[in-house]
């Protein structure tokens, strides 16, 4: 990993696909902790995260504390037909009668697949640092993401950097919670 930026006691670094494999357990721990999933979710998500790292346009970034421990992680890739998330969002938009939205948003986008910061490290700009670094060289005209509905630091961050509603109160297969799909044009300001 090579240091790309520094903020406070944290370093933001780019992750290669190999870095993601090497630090997968650490990254998944951040994911289950931030999302309040049971630890067993790590076993189910690991293979998915590794397969994502081989997709076109994959980029990953991490925030490291002063000891080199990971406190935040984010990654994404080019969205495309046939991918699970693409198909879920396309279905949701068509189900609401927004075929024009589906054509616009799903034509050329970078999927911000995961962005998580350990709760104890939240509120210090780490999420925004990860977001900006990840999207700085992202491929696509737009960026899309999904996040659980309800007030949170993530919501405030996404609104602050210009994300708009694409699809609201959507329930993805396998998760009973309502999610919002948000999008904006690239590059970030």
**Integer Cα distance of 27 and 95 in angstroms:** 34
**Integer Cα distance of 88 and 94 in angstroms:** 10
The answer on pLDDT for 57 being more than 50 is yes
What CATH number does the domain containing 143 carry? 3.40.630.30
Cβ neighbours, 10 Å, residue 164? 10
Q: Enumerate the active-site residues.
A: 158
pLDDT category at 6 given cuts 50, 70, 90 is: very low
pLDDT of residue 14: 97
Instruction: Give residue-wise pLDDT tens across range 105-158.
Output: 999 999 999 999 999 999 999 999 999 999 999 999 999 999 999 899 999 999
The answer on pLDDT for 92 being more than 90 is yes
Secondary element (H or E) of residue 144: strand 142-148
Instruction: Give residue-wise pLDDT tens across range 100-115.
Output: 999 999 999 999 999 9
Nearest residue to 29 via CA among 43, 14, 15, 47: 43
DSSP one-letter string for 83-116: SHHHHHHHHHHHHTT-HHHHHHHTSSEEEEEEEE
Q: Sign (positive/negative) of CA torsion 131, 133, 138, 142?
A: positive
Nearest residue to 1 via CA among 113, 18, 134: 18
Cβ neighbours, 10 Å, residue 182? 22
Question: Between β-strands 142-148 and 109-117, what pairing exists: parallel, antiparallel or unpaired?
Answer: parallel
pLDDT category at 189 given cuts 50, 70, 90 is: confident
Q: Quick check: pTM over 0.75? A: yes
The answer on pLDDT for 178 being more than 90 is yes
Cβ neighbours, 10 Å, residue 128? 19
Looking at the structure of the chain, the number of domains it has is 1
**Integer Cα distance of 152 and 159 in angstroms:** 11
Domain housing 92:
3-185
pLDDT category at 21 given cuts 50, 70, 90 is: very high
């Amino acid at each position: 990993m090579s240091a790309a930026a520094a903020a406070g006691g944290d370093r933001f670094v780019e992750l290669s696909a190999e870095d993601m494999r090497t630090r997968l357990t650490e990254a998944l721990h951040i994911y289950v902790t931030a999302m309040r999933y049971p630890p067993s979710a790590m076993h189910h998500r690991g293979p998915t995260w590794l397969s994502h790292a081989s997709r076109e346009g994959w980029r990953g970034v991490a925030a490291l504390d002063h000891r080199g421990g990971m406190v935040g992680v984010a990654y994404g890739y080019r969205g495309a037909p046939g991918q699970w998330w693409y198909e879920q969002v396309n279905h949701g938009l068509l189900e609401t009668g927004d075929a024009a939205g589906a054509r616009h948003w799903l034509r050329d986008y970078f999927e911000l697949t995961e962005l998580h910061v350990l709760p104890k490290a939240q509120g210090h700009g780490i999420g925004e640092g990860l977001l900006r670094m990840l999207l700085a060289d992202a491929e696509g005209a737009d960026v899309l993401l999904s996040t659980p509905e309800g007030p949170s630091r993530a919501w405030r961050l996404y609104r602050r950097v210009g994300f708009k509603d694409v699809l609201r109160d959507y329930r993805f297969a396998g998760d009973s919670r309502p999610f919002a799909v948000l999008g904006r044009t690239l590059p970030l300001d």
